[in-house]
């Protein structure tokens, strides 16, 4: 079954559209949903862009992203294989930090908050954690080893 989605013609064009959000990071926290992009939040669009741009540069892939017509936080698509990765997002914000909490703890708490919504909610989705807080160095492998089991999400 096919669904209508909105997609930028290229990641370069997407970056031009995202420029106001990159230049004014407060808009990542407070920006209203983008109606022209399936009501995705600016931070969700930026996080999807960052993920696609990074993987494309490092791995030589051709990832793009689009809106999600069934209320997710966007769909990442591999143009070479046509594989799709529905996304769900969570954010570690500088506005709700606890004194003394380290990055790993905050990331794992954000993941648990989404995981607590249950397996039907998480199943088949890629969870993207947007870390927007100066909470020190963190180590992806350590976070990966500390992920809850069962995770419910396809990947984080």
- Residue 100, pLDDT above cutoff 60: yes
State the pLDDT at residue 115: 96
What angle is formed at CA 59 by the lines to CA 141 and CA 79, rounded to 5 degrees?
120
Contact (CB, 8 A) for 153 and 88: yes
Domain ranges in the chain?
A: 1-68+75-82, 87-156
Q: Where are the alpha helices (DSSP H) in 6-155?
A: 11-23, 26-30, 42-59, 103-115, 119-122, 140-145
CA distance 61 to 148: 29
- Residue 1, pLDDT above cutoff 60: no
Identify the helix (H) or strand (E) that includes residue 127: strand 126-131
The chain-wide mean pLDDT, for the chain, equals: 90
Higher pLDDT, 136 or 144: 144
Contact (CB, 8 A) for 150 and 111: no
Given the structure tokens 């992203």, which residue do they identify? 65
CA distance 91 to 47: 10
Residue partners of 152: CB distance under 8 A and separation at least 6: 115, 118, 119, 121, 122, 123
State the pLDDT at residue 24: 85
Tens of pLDDT, residues 30-68: 888 888 888 889 999 999 999 999 999 999 999 999 999
Tens of pLDDT, residues 17-31: 889 888 887 888 788
């Amino acid at each position: 079954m096919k669904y209508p989605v909105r997609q930028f013609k290229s990641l370069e064009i997407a970056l031009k559209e995202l420029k106001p959000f990159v230049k004014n990071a407060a808009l990542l926290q407070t920006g209203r949903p983008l109606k022209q992009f399936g009501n995705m939040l600016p931070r969700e669009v930026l996080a999807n862009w960052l993920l696609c741009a990074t993987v494309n540069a490092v791995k030589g892939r051709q990832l793009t992203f689009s809106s999600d017509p069934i209320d997710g936080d966007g769909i990442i698509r591999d143009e070479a294989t046509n594989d799709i990765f529905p996304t769900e997002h969570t954010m570690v914000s500088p506005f709700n930090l606890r004194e003394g909490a380290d990055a790993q703890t905050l990331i794992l708490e954000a993941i648990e908050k989404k995981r607590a919504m249950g397996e039907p909610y998480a199943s088949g989705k890629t969870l993207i954690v947007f870390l927007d807080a100066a909470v020190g160095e963190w180590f992806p492998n350590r976070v990966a080893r500390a992920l809850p089991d069962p995770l419910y999400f396809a990947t984080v």
